[in-house]
Amino acid sequence: MSINGCRGKILVVGGGISGISAAIEASEAGCEVVLVERNPYLGGRVAQMNQYFPKLCPPSCGLEINLRRIRTNPRIQCLTLSEVEKVSGDVGDYKVTVVQHPRGVNDKCTACGACVDVCPVERSDEFNCGMRSTKAVYLPFQMAHPPVFVIDASVCPGSGCGKCVPACPYDAIDLEMEPEKIELQVQAVVWATGWDPYDASKIEGLGFGAHQNVITNLMMERLASGDGPTGGKIQRPSDGKGIERVAFVQCAGSRDDNHLKHCSGVCCLGSLKQARYVREQYPDAEISIFYIDIRAPGRLEDFFAASQKDEKLSLIKGKVAKITEDAATGNLEVEAEDTLSAERVIQQVDLVVLATGLVPAGVGEAEIEGGLEFDEHGFLTGEQPSDGLLAAGCAKRPVDVAVCVRDATGVAMKALHSCGE
Amino acid sequence: MDKKVAVYICQGCDIGTSLDLEALSTVATEECDAALCRDHECLCGEAGRDLILKDIEDGANAVVVAGCSPRFMPEAFTFEGCQVERVNLREHVVWSHEANDEDTQMLAADYLRMGIVRAQKAELPEPFEEEIDKTILVVGGGVTGMEAAVDAAGAGYDVVLVEKEVQLGGWSAKFAKTFPHRSPYRDPEPVPIAERIAEAEGSDRITVHTGTTIEAISGQPGQFDVSLRSNGTTAACRVGAIVQATGWKPYDATRLDHLGYGRCANVITNVEMEEQIASGEIKRPSDGKPARRIAFIQCAGSRDEQHLPYCSGVCCRVTIKQALLAREFDNESEAYVLYKDIRAPGQYEDFYRRAQEDTGIFFTKADVVGVEETGDHDLLVEAEDTLLGGKIQLEADLVVLATGMVPVAADGEGLRRYADARAVVEKGEAGAQLEAAKETVEELGHLEGTAILNLDYRQGPDLPGLKYDFPDSHFICFPYETRRTGIYAAGCVRAPNDSQASQDDGAGAALKAIQSVELLSRGASVHPRWGDMSYPEFSLQRCTQCKRCTEECPFGTLNEDVKGTPEPNSTRCRRCGICMGACPERIISFKDYSVGIISSMIKSVEIPDEFEEKPRLLGFLCENDAYPALDTAGLKRIQHSAYIRFIPVRCLGSVNIVWIADALSRGFDGILLVGCKSGDDYQCHFIRGSELMSTRSENIRDKLKQLALEEERVRLEQLPITDWDRLPQIINEFAEQIEEIGMNPFKGF
């Protein structure tokens, strides 16, 4: 039987909730773990969320504990801004090449923020879905880990500007940083590469990109977040006005042969939750949810049942076909067809939230000996050609956070098997 | 060991330019008797760290680092074998207060005093030494339990697998096919259960006990003594951790009289339909004729306030499978599915699509009102069409009720209340207590004999149920964190799950079980205070048997002897300190966290006299949420009153009200307690900490009255970590309010 000593080393690809959980759970059971994340911070998509359903609690509460478990655990090595380039070998003995992109800021950074004051360049802040900007040197969000600033190399003029270099009292800015290749030897690789939101502009007729007041569910999370672009106030992007009537459009891209054939699994609860955000700020707002089926499994049904008690929330079974904008006011007209009665429903609203689905983020350009197996939706399958390559969380199935964490814990169990007894 | 306390003050991040460090140094060495005090331009850098390391080599054994929040740079300020106290001069002082200001300087000096006192009083925790058995007990031999057993065995752990039926396999062994769990998610799949059973039974590391139940489990994680009962004989074993995978049972269909079950011969449940499918043909029970027109009624009992309010999660997919198989057996048969919502999440949508493509399967959204028999046991299903309005009548020769899943769990807390009440009744002393006990016995009588784990825990013999009897976790981020350390529920007992999700869950629970025995064998705590080596020690000679600690521990750590004296079980403990907060006699302490240590910190704060008009407020912050929130406010340079001094606590539930009394009698003018949300959607990581503090604040109010002090001097707030902008407001409003009330009259006494 294994004892307290280290039992082996695994690589976890993806530092979202699934990857973080797999890394921590495996390490606390005795593994050494390298955690690789492409963003400059850990937390992935959950870091962008305002609250979780059904408790309406903030993700950063759990992240804080998880990050403490990572910070104080010498068995976990975190590589942010990093991607897997190559994997070769077989279960129990994989050789992995990871490339770490230059951060422009080294770990002497104390997050004091002196660099930001002098930086002359602005960039669109993708963490906030482009709804605000940051300087070229920035901290991705207030509670980001590592708490180290990062320079967006795509907009920073580099040493041609260099104003941040002398502004930093700690010698932490390094504009000459080069990409670094890191070679690892591990016994298993957990792919927890998560999801991206479906590109809503591909959905014809819904007007995303053309009408300012048509937003995605991820944008709604940022609007509702206290550290988001509006300081937590839900308002119309076009004119900053409050919300009297809002429509949520379910299955925006999901369960649709022309877009995503799968059900994205979490959007029903996501919209019901966002309806609560709206209700908290606008007690009288009219809320409509256009849906095909409301999918609230297990005890989550309670949340759905409680939402149905909201008298100003209507559930309309029907697929939205078209959204048009009144250019003068920015108001929107939502046209839906009831698939069974073939009757048309038309509503005038101030804001439309598209419940865009989850697209598996994939493994990028990684070159993997023997390859990885994906299903027709692009999710990794549960059984991979090489036994030590394991998929976890939304890389495998579109599921909510609690299921991701359970799955990641189970996958950590399987990773232990690759490490031998 | 003699303490040699070395103090280091970082000049970086505006500290050096905002504070008089020389004056602080005097506070450290002259007033607080620190052995030395040095400042440095950047302590977290290599030179700064070397400076500290050199002093440690020269004999410093407790280090106070005054600089940034302890949440930053933990690796820079960790020194093997040396106690480190961090004093947060950056976020909580210079980044949130005016620079070079008298009040800011006083604040910094107080934080330094508190840090030094803590370094002087606290000791490095030494892990307990207990013999830890690493065997994993798995209760339940269905797909979940077998997965947990095989996984734990595969990682090198011995497993005891207990199943109450005579063979392994659970429900899955009874089903011919399952709905598909892998690409392309279109056709029902065979259940590979025989292989799994062979694997479990063939493993050298797994001891399988079928036809066996648990008679008793005593002890604690790492040292559970289990008594197994089989065929009237008992056997004993010792295990370290437990996975409960006791599965589900179908909802009792006889309660669904309106749907015809028991009343109409040709109304069956989905489980009975599985038996038919396993037999290879689908017949009407009334006459054995083939069933050609089959109506499936979804949510039969589920999503129904009168029955099971929750969704059973799998019935939609089970029905789709059964409809497809019925059509496969007889392509002239027709299946009508009457549903509320079809729930086929993720890739299972493909399976739903497959059924929709089948011209003999019809899906209708409807609320079924009733099922009646017509002639010859034929059936008429009456429903309301929720989309089009109006009534639907559907003739069928077989009706399948998609009955839901009920956990095979026992309500541990209910069983405990029942046992306590029964004891009162048996004792038979007259009085109101007896009447109440009789009522409880009546109310909970149905629990008699339902215990499964039979744990010898004061707080009940089974896991506490969360809701609808599921012993689930309430934490979204930590779904295995339940209220009994080292015992993990998985599969359908925890929540309605499909077989794939149950297996994944079984694997996860096995990992948690392994993790707990591994951590405990090092004397370290499991989540959320991962790796903490401190544990509560009891000075039992001063115990008054008030039982507050045994009642309030959220994790059932403490048992009681016959007199009510607590019996500690270190490995059940999560180190939250709630027992320490509960104890009126102050007999419970951790090496690095005790009533005495915090009291000394409170006493170290300098209280200006009444005439200086500088109130002093004391704040207790939950270290998981409120403390980081105040850090974030500091990062954003949001200012808060310089009159308040904060002490981070493991949980608000660990705050002993003696601290509040001490502080008020020392002349503090107000006390602010900031914890996490309590109630149904609690966010407290220790389940009940902030709730218990609310209860205790009732006592505090009484205390204030006794002292003739205003109630408003003590305020309790619940604050999520994200409300960092609101925390400074709360502090400032509180400070203003206290200024209005006026100074504490006990100042100077």
Note whether B683 contacts A414, CB cutoff 8 Å.
no
Q: What is d(CA A411, CA A13) in angstroms, rounded to the nearest whole number? A: 13
Exposure of A284 by Cβ count < 10 A (0-12 exposed, 13-18 middle, 19+ buried)?
exposed
| End-to-end CA gap in chain B | 35
pLDDT for residue A1: 34
Q: What is d(CA B620, CA B662) in angstroms, rounded to the nearest whole number? A: 14
| End-to-end CA gap in chain A | 7
Higher pLDDT, A340 or B303: B303
pLDDT for residue A392: 98
pLDDT for residue B698: 86
Q: What region, left, alpha or beta, does residue A248 occupy, with left being phi > 0 and alpha being psi -120 to 50 degrees? A: beta
Note whether B343 contacts A398, CB cutoff 8 Å.
no
Average pLDDT over residues A213-217: 98
Residue type, A365: E
Q: Does B189 touch chain A (CB under 8 A)?
A: no
Q: What is d(CA A121, CA A107) in angstroms, rounded to the nearest whole number? A: 22
Q: Which residues contact B514 (CB under 8 A, 6 or more apart)?
A: A29, A413, A416, B134, B136, B152, B155, B157, B241
DSSP string covering A294-359, please? Answer: ----GGGHHHHHHHTT-TTEEEEESEEEEEEE-TTT--EEEEEE-TTT--EEEEEESEEEEEE-EE
pLDDT in tens, B276-311: 999 999 999 999 999 999 999 999 999 999 999 999
Number of residue pairs across A and B with CB atoms under 8 Å? 257
Considering only CB atoms, which chain A residues are within 8 Å of B347?
262, 375, 377, 379, 397
pLDDT in tens, B478-517: 999 989 999 999 999 999 999 999 999 999 999 999 999 9
Q: Does B309 touch chain A (CB under 8 A)?
A: yes
Tell me the nearest-neighbour CA distance from A106 into chain B, angstroms: 12
Number of neighbouring beta carbons within 10 Å of residue B579:
26
Note whether B511 contacts A29, CB cutoff 8 Å.
yes
pLDDT in tens, B648-689: 999 999 999 999 999 999 999 999 999 999 999 999 999 999
Using 50, 70 and 90 to split pLDDT, how confident is the model at A262?
very high
B186, B363, B476, best to mutate vs chain A, most A CBs in 10 Å: B476
Question: Which residues between 663 and 682 in chain B have a beta carbon less than 8 angstroms from any beta carbon of chain A?
Answer: 676-677, 681
Partner residues linked to A360 by β-bridges = A195
Q: What is d(CA B201, CA B207) in angstroms, rounded to the nearest whole number? A: 8
pLDDT for residue B430: 74
Note whether B624 contacts A61, CB cutoff 8 Å.
yes
Q: Is the sign of the CA dihedral A370, A375, A380, A384 positive or negative?
A: negative
pLDDT at A3 over 50: no
Question: Which residues between 161 and 200 in chain A have a beta carbon less than 8 angstroms from any beta carbon of chain B?
Answer: 169-170
Q: Which residues contact A418 (CB under 8 A, 6 or more apart)?
A: A8, A10, A91, A92, A187, A188, A387, A388
Q: Does B353 touch chain A (CB under 8 A)?
A: yes
DSSP string covering B164-209, please? Answer: SSSSS-GGGGG-SEE---STT--S-EE--HHHHHHHHHH-TTEEEE
Residue recorded with tokens 């040396």:
B82
Considering only CB atoms, which chain B residues are within 8 Å of A142?
632, 635-636, 724
- For B690, phi then psi, to 5°, come to -75, -30
pLDDT in tens, A20-71: 999 999 999 999 999 999 999 999 999 999 999 999 999 999 999 999 999 9
Q: Does A56 touch chain B (CB under 8 A)?
A: yes
Using 50, 70 and 90 to split pLDDT, how confident is the model at A2?
very low
Instruction: Tell me, rounded to whole angstroms, the distance of Cα B492 from its chain centroid.
Output: 18
pLDDT at A421 over 90: no
Residue B693 DSSP code: H
B311, B468, B480, best to mutate vs chain A, most A CBs in 10 Å: B311
| CA proximity to B67, closest of B100, B22, B23, B111 | B111
pLDDT in tens, B694-749: 999 888 888 898 888 999 999 999 999 999 999 999 999 999 999 999 999 988 76
Q: What is the strand order of the sheet A82-90 is part of?
A: A180-186, A93-100, A82-90, A367-368
Cβ contact B531:B519 at 8 Å = yes
pLDDT for residue A5: 53
Considering only CB atoms, which chain A residues are within 8 Å of B496?
297-298
| CA proximity to B415, closest of B459, B468, B474 | B459
pLDDT for residue A106: 96
Residue recorded with tokens 């054994």:
B61
pLDDT for residue B429: 77
Q: What region, left, alpha or beta, does residue B328 occupy, with left being phi > 0 and alpha being psi -120 to 50 degrees? A: alpha
Exposure of A266 by Cβ count < 10 A (0-12 exposed, 13-18 middle, 19+ buried)?
buried
In angstroms, what CA-CA distances link B564 with B396, B547, B561?
63, 6, 5
Question: Which residues between 113 and 132 in chain A have a beta carbon less than 8 angstroms from any beta carbon of chain B?
Answer: 113
Question: Which residues between 501 and 530 in chain B have a beta carbon less than 8 angstroms from any beta carbon of chain A?
Answer: 501, 503-508, 510-512, 514-515, 518-519, 521-522, 526-528, 530
| CA proximity to A248, closest of A272, A225, A266 | A272
Higher pLDDT, B749 or B40: B40
pLDDT in tens, B340-365: 999 999 999 999 999 999 999 999 99
Tokens of B24: 């602080």
Q: What is d(CA A310, CA A287) in angstroms, rounded to the nearest whole number? A: 9
Partner residues linked to B488 by β-bridges = B243
Q: Does B701 touch chain A (CB under 8 A)?
A: no
Mean pLDDT of chain A: 95
pLDDT at B428 over 90: no
What is residue B477's three-state secondary structure?
coil
Note whether B477 contacts A60, CB cutoff 8 Å.
no
pLDDT at A341 over 80: no
pLDDT for residue A4: 46
Number of neighbouring beta carbons within 10 Å of residue B80:
5
Cβ contact B452:B244 at 8 Å = yes
pLDDT at B390 over 90: no
Q: What is the 3-state secondary structure (H, E, C) of B343-390?
A: CCCHHHHHHHHHHHHCCCEEEEEEEEEEEEECHHHCEEEEEEECCCCC
Tell me the nearest-neighbour CA distance from B726 into chain A, angstroms: 10
Taken as a whole, chain B contains a residue count of: 749
Tokens of B356: 């929709």
Q: What is d(CA B157, CA B206) in angstroms, rounded to the nearest whole number? A: 9
Mean pLDDT of chain B: 96
The helix (H) or strand (E) run that includes residue B288 is: none
Q: What is d(CA B572, CA B550) in angstroms, rounded to the nearest whole number? A: 12
Tokens of B189: 């799949």
Considering only CB atoms, which chain A residues are within 8 Å of B476?
52, 55, 57, 62, 400-402, 405
Q: What is the 3-state secondary structure (H, E, C) of B50-118?
A: HHHHHHHHCCCCEEEEEECCCCCCCCCCCCCCCEEEEEECHHHHHCCCCCCCHHHHHHHHHHHHHHHHH
Average pLDDT over residues B226-245: 97
pLDDT for residue A368: 97
Residue of chain B whose Cα is closest to the Cα of A403: B479
Considering only CB atoms, which chain B residues are within 8 Å of A59?
477
Tell me the nearest-neighbour CA distance from A256 into chain B, angstroms: 10
Question: Which residues between 359 and 388 in chain B have a beta carbon less than 8 angstroms from any beta carbon of chain A?
Answer: 365, 387-388
B15, B71, B339, B515, best to mutate vs chain A, most A CBs in 10 Å: B515
